Structure 1
Amino acid sequence: MESTKSSAPSSKWTDGFEHAVVHIAVVVPPKSTSEQLPLRLLFASVWLLASGRQATSRPLKPYIKRFNKDGAIAVDRIVMTVDEAIQWYRTSSEELHTPVPLDGFRSASDGKPLSACRLSDFPSWPVLGVPMESEDIAQKSERSTIPFRNLGIIRYSRRISESQGWPSFLDTAGRSKQCEEALQFLEHHMHVDFREYPEYLGGMVLAVPDCDVHSVRQFVDPKEDGSESLYFHVKPHPSRKLQGLSLTVMEGQQGMLTSFDKIPVPEDGLVVIERPSPIHSSGLVLTHIERGVLLQTPIRTFLRQMNMRTEVIERRVKISAPETDKKKSPVTEYFSDKKTLASSQTFGDAPNATDAFKRLLDAKNERLLNYSAKLYDQKWFTADQRKEALKHIRDKLKQANLSIFIADPYFSANQISQYLFAIERDDVKIQILTSSSAFKKIKVSEAGPESDNEAPLDTHQALLRNLATFQASHRNSIQIKVANTENSLFHDRFIAVDNRVWMIGSSLNSIGIRPTLAMRIPHGEKILTHLIDLYNNAVPLKDFKIPKGELKKSCAHCGRAMVDEKEAQILQGAKTHGAQGTQDVDND
């Protein structure tokens, strides 16, 4: 529950601070409303100013971004005393007002009621935390949980609001031009990208630099005899002393932890560790006897070799090309630089150039690739793996507990028997989006050698008939829609099982016949939202009319009932036994 307590925190982490700067963004309601609504907290950050830092001046007036009749966003910067700033930060959401500055009170904007949702503390107040950084020095893996891109010895408190709705110009999906302008405005003035950190909307952050420590640097010093020295330099703020600090140093070699030492930090801040051989990688944790953890960096490998390439642009070429293959397509233009390699240099020496070391690296990289492929369920099917591909898709559908969504522009009658009978639960909701492409006219030869032996049935009627056959033995809610307008057409193929989304390179009618890839989408929820929009704009199968001249003959099996009476009895018996226990059924 939200704490309404605004007691002053312990002086152990406010000692040495006099001022704080509050950056605050609020949503200004539109003036057209019948009653005057209060300002609404969008985001606020409270930064304590370390010793020697000069307090910034307040802008002459708030920065404002207006959005026609939908309201506006206002951003202000206010200087307060440390105690008043923390007391304001701890105010309960029911009693929250816009902050009151140390000097220069503005009656039009300061001390005004501020609407906010209930706020929760992470970590629990009055504990302060430091970001747990990634092992990847290039930051290609998960980003920090703190939205700021600053460097320094800073600890944080966060107050995250409950879920709430926002005006259309604050849709973090960024679908509209207004939303993009709003997010760019906030990023410029609040230094937070809310597209990447939407959980901070409606919340607050308190940032507390360490009162003594300014920064920590680490580096190695190679010696001629092959030994190395590992240096850590703890730098204090001006006029501050280093006392009560400890440095926990971790070292590793190729995924193996080789040392773990806790060393007191001397007054000059310089810690030196001597090693008889090269130091491969190191990390640290800096702690204070009273203030706790001040900094954490994971074990990272030292950069020992750098390659530099210099290229010369000889000429720039302008290319004009049609945007599409249509006769009256508009023209698109772009530039291409023709480059020539001028020089290539290598600085430093590789830490280990042996074949054994290369085998270690190659094996590690291969495991990482295999793990990523497994994580995203990457599966490649060759041209002779139709049975394996069918089983792969069926296994996905069998796992469904809530919903199945299929988007395939060529989904037709055969796919019902090939896949949908694998669904094991009658309470699974099924939605299928096909397209008018599934019903276009094709050559008789494409229908297969058996097509001349049976009366042809158009694929629209075949799909309706096979759908009815499925519904006769299943109680699932199922609906098939056909995309046939500019607002509903699509190209790629997807299946979604309980909101987990896979992309398939070819349609379900040919997967495993031609080489193709199936792979789970890491962030499929956003794609599924767009697909549902296409589905909502499509036409129900029963209402779809095939355009004249585009009647497509079905193959020999599309119009045939997929489950005869005997098979239906076996299937029904299996369902009956399934309610009491499990039973193995061999239909081969």
Structure 2
Amino acid sequence: MATNDCNQWAVVRLVTVQRKGEAGKLLFTTVTELAQGRPVPTAMCGVECLRLKENKETLFFRRVILSKNDAINWYQTLGEGETCTPVPTRQEDREKKLDGVPIQVSKMVSDQPWPMLGLPINEDLFSRPNQRAIDPAPFIGSVPGRLHRRFGDRSGLEAFLENEDAQAFVARRMHIDLFDYQEYLGSAVYISPDPVVQQIDNFMVPAKDGRGERIIYRIVPRPGQNVKGLRLTTFDKEARLLTSFETHEVPINGILEVEKGTCMGEYGFVVTHDEHGVLAYQPSSSFLRQMNLDIRVSSGSSRKVRVPSSDSPTAPAIDYQAAMGSELASKSAIGKVSTPGPGVRVAVEARKREKLAEAKHYGQRWFAEGSREEAMYFIQSLLRAARSRVIIADPYLGALQLGQFLYAVHSEVSIALLTTKLAFKPMCKQKNVETKLGLLEAFRHSLEELNKYQKLVPDVRVISASSLHDRFLVVDNDVWFVGNSLNSLGEKASMIVKLPNPSEVIERLESLSTNAPCLNEHIKKTAKTNTERGRSE
């Protein structure tokens, strides 16, 4: 797939990070060919910069215009060691102090040999489009393009990931949030627009005059191009079955009709070119046959609600807008689905199975009232599977829970326990009820027993009761959200579920642990408080 020689100009966007007195380092760069007929943008004057006060570094951004050949040459020179910032092709665009300046580049690894280009795909080819798809290349923009990527090393760029202002600075100029796309740190991307196809129309023609339904594909070439060498591969899905996979030569007029009879399934396509390879694709999706339209008229009344933010008598008030009422004015349907067919039934049942599979994947588990034993066995099974670490964050984690659960953990696993003073609060002031200090000593004794018989030495932190409400169980790199504390899980109806983004929770729990006193410190403080209270009495 050779790059297109018809595009004469390219835009280079470059961000470097530099410490005073040192050469700058490549943070990220894109080289984008301009599509044929697109005007060359105005040259940028100077650079834009942002100082990172914490570590005395500065981010520099510059956008320059190069001829396509100069842009390719500069992109290919990027490699381990010292290189120079790109020099604009046009003499009048050059700035001596900014262009051709030495910068440091890490070792680059290409994911495909040059000049092979790849088309970014948001989802699997045979999947239906969905809202959860994540753009793999947001820096491309609204014009589809193909990529060549050279991945560098992000060593020395850690400070950037800790500075939200720096991330926002780069995101506005490079059209990518490098905190979310960290694989591109220290990297370079070459972007080439589709060299042949300007537009693809795809629609279904209803049955009429004895002729069944058919799908029309209309491919419009760019000015000066034609559809010679283009092929369209179509694939159909009916009731979760792949029913057709065909490749068609695109007619000289760019219009391809495919007879279907009925179009109740899902239809996708891939456009390829003899020389340029894959140019475009569309995952399988169904055609819109009916649209229901409800028009409601607002009552016109608006109400603002003011309430205290908490139960505290000194809590500040917050305002929010109450929902406005409305009345149904009209209801209509555009189009009609007379016979949905078995595909709808299959899709409904398949979606149910997908939800069950997602629940299983995330460990969603409901414990009915009175299922204490079942809940305990389940938590023990999770802990028994740990291979590197366990973190239990529970405001009511007491001595009894150490015996109920932690003997299921293997001796080579590190354990961190986050509890609060609520776990050591006596239930009442009757006789024979342990004091707070007694409960703390019982907890410490349980830890000693755990060390003696299981060779486990948990790091126990007593955090502020106001710092933690929810309960979390970390097993290696997975985090479980636990509805009830471990001392009562399963006694009342509750749920446990594995969280999809565990890293954030682990970081927050570790932050809570860092600033909290250990168990021995908390016991000493409690004993001292009791002594002082006794003297005052």
Task: Confirm or deny a common fold (TM above 0.5).
Answer: yes
- State the alpha-carbon separation in 2 of the partners of residues 97 and 134 from structure 1: 37
Q: CA deviation at 1:191?
A: 1.4
Contact kept? 1:147, 1:197, Cα under 8 Å: no
Deviations 1:14-68 (A, max 9, x none): 3212111111122243x4xxxx111222211111122211111112232333444
Q: Does the CA contact (< 8 Å) of 1:226 and 1:278 recur in 2?
A: no
Structure 1 residues without counterparts, runs of 5 or longer? 1-9, 172-178, 446-450, 552-588
Q: Distance in 2 between matches of 1:426 and 1:351?
A: 65
Q: What is the distance in 1 between the residues matched to 2:369 and 2:460?
A: 29
Cα shift at 1:246: 0.8
Asked if the contact 1:232–1:272 (Cα under 8 Å) also holds between the matched residues in 2, the reply is yes
- Given candidates 110, 115, 125, the residue that maps to 1:121 is 110
Tell me if structure 1 keeps the 8 A contact 2:3–2:115.
Answer: no
Contact 1:493 1:507 in 2 (8 A): yes
Q: 1:571 aligns to what?
A: none
Paired residue secondary structure (2:199): strand
2:346 equivalent among 320, 341, 360: 360
1:284-303 alignment, distance < 5 Å: 284-303=269-288
Q: Give yes or no for the alignment of 1:25 onto 2:15.
A: yes
Query: Corresponding residue for 1:495?
Result: 473
Quote the offset at 1:494 in angstroms.
0.8
- SS of the residue 2:275 aligns to: coil
Separation in 2, partners of 1:184, 1:299: 35
Indicate whether 1:96 and 2:89 are aligned: no
Q: Which residue of 2 aligns with 1:462?
A: 442
Q: Decide whether aligned partners of structure 1 residues 75 and 41 sit closer, same or farther in structure 2, where only a CA change above 3 A counts.
A: same
**Offset, 1:233:** 1.3
Go from structure 1 to structure 2 and tell me whether the alpha carbon gap of 1:97 and 1:311 turns closer, same or farther (over 3 Å shift). Answer: farther
Give the alignment of 1:319-468 within 5 angstroms: 319-341=305-327, 342-350=329-337, 352-353=339-340, 358-423=344-409, 425-443=410-428, 458-468=438-448
Q: Map Cα deviations across residues 511-547 of structure 1 (whole Å, 9 max, x no partner).
A: 0001111011111022101101111111111221375
Aligned residues between the structures: 520
Distance in 2 separating the partners of 1:455 and 1:318: 49
CA distance in 2, matches of 1:160, 1:276: 48
User: 1:452: how far off?
Assistant: 5.9
2:141 paired residue number = 150
Aligned: 1:531 with 2:509: yes
Q: Look up the match of 2:452.
A: 472
**Corresponding residue of 1:185:** 169
Q: Is the 8 A contact 1:281 1:300 kept in 2?
A: yes
Listed one character per residue, the Cα deviations across residues 334-358 of structure 1 (whole Å, up to 9, x for unaligned) are 223413144443322237446x555
Aligned to 1:161: 152
**Identity score, percent:** 30
Which amino acid in structure 2 is aligned with residue 476 of structure 1? L
Conservation of the 8 A alpha-carbon contact between 1:428 and 1:477: no
- From 191, 212, 236, the equivalent of 2:196 is 212
> In 2, Cα distance between the equivalents of 1:481 and 1:41?
42
User: Which of the residues 201, 210, 228 maps onto 2:185?
Assistant: 201
What SS does structure 2 have at the residue aligned with 1:56?
A: coil
Report the more deviating stretch, 383-392 or 147-156: 147-156
What secondary structure sits across from 2:70 in the alignment? helix
Q: CA–CA distance in 2 between the matches of 1:89 and 1:358?
A: 50
Deviation, structure 1 residue 385: 0.7
Partner of 2:122: 133
Q: 1:194-273 maps to which residues of 2 (within 5 A)?
A: 194-224=178-208, 225=210, 227-273=212-258
1:444 Cα offset (Å): 6.1
Q: Which moved more, 1:493-502 or 1:276-285?
A: 276-285
Find the aligned partners of 2:479 and 2:176 in 1 and give their Cα distance. Answer: 30
Task: Identify if the C-alpha distance between structure 1 residues 244 and 308 changes in structure 2 by more than 3 Å, giving closer, same or farther.
Answer: same
- Change in 2 beyond 3 A, CA 1:506/1:149: farther
1:547–1:477 distance in 2 versus 1, CA, 3 Å: closer
TM-score (norm 2): 0.90
Superposed displacement of residue 121, structure 1: 0.9
In structure 1, C-alpha distance between the alignment counterparts of 2:137 and 2:15, rounded to whole Å:
18
1:14 aligns with 2:4: yes
Question: 2: CA distance between counterparts of 1:327 and 1:444?
Answer: 28
Q: CA 1:71/1:454 → structure 2, altered by over 3 Å: closer, same or farther? A: closer
Aligned AA (2:244): S
Q: Secondary structure at the match of 2:324?
A: strand
SS at match of 2:96: coil
| Residue among 301, 306, 322 paired with 2:291 | 306
Flag the 1:150–1:311 CA change in 2: closer, same or farther, 3 A. Answer: farther
Q: Partner residue of 2:268?
A: 283
Helix, strand or coil at the partner of 2:25: strand
Give the conservation status (yes or no) of the 8 Å contact 1:132–1:297: no
Distance 2:25 2:366 in 1: 51
1:239 Cα deviation from its structure 2 partner: 1.7
Counterpart in 2 of 1:515?
A: 493
Q: Does 1:74 align with 2:60?
A: yes
Other structure's SS at 1:501 match: strand
What is the distance in 1 between the residues matched to 2:294 and 2:185?
43
Q: For 2:459, what is the secondary structure of its paired residue?
A: strand
CA RMSD of aligned residues (A): 2.6
> Tell me, what secondary structure is at the counterpart of 1:539?
coil
Unpaired runs of at least 5, structure 2: 531-537
Shift of 1:150: 3.4
Give yes or no for contact 1:218–1:232 (8 Å, CA) kept in 2. yes
Q: Quick check: 1:65–1:182 contact (8 Å CA) kept in 2?
A: yes
Judge conservation of contact 2:236–2:244 (CA < 8 Å) in 1.
yes
CA displacement at 1:482 relative to structure 2: 0.7
**CA distance in structure 2 between the aligned counterparts of 1:465 and 1:441, rounded to whole angstroms:** 18
| SS of 1:64 mapped into structure 2 | strand
Cα separation, 1, equivalents of 2:411 and 2:504:
27
| Local SS of the residue matching 2:262 | coil
Change (3 A) 1:457 1:541: closer
Matched position secondary structure for 2:352:
helix
- Please state how far the C-alpha of 1:153 moved relative to its aligned partner: 4.6
3-state DSSP of counterpart to 1:240: coil
The verdict on how the C-alpha distance between 1:188 and 1:454 changes in structure 2, with shifts beyond 3 A counting, is: closer
Do the aligned residues in 2 keep the contact of 1:484 with 1:539 (CA within 8 Å)?
A: no
Q: 1:63 and 1:306, CA in 2 relative to 1: closer, same or farther beyond 3 A? A: farther
Distance 2:44 2:434 in 1: 82
How far does the alpha carbon of each residue in 1:563-588 deviate from its partner, in whole angstroms, 9 at most, with x for none? xxxxxxxxxxxxxxxxxxxxxxxxxx
Deviates more, 1:221-230 or 1:507-516: 221-230
TM-score (norm 1): 0.83
Which one of 43, 49, 54 corresponds to residue 58 of structure 1?
A: 43
Amino acid at match of 2:81: E
Summarize the Cα distance change of 1:220–1:149 in structure 2 as closer, same or farther, 3 Å threshold: farther
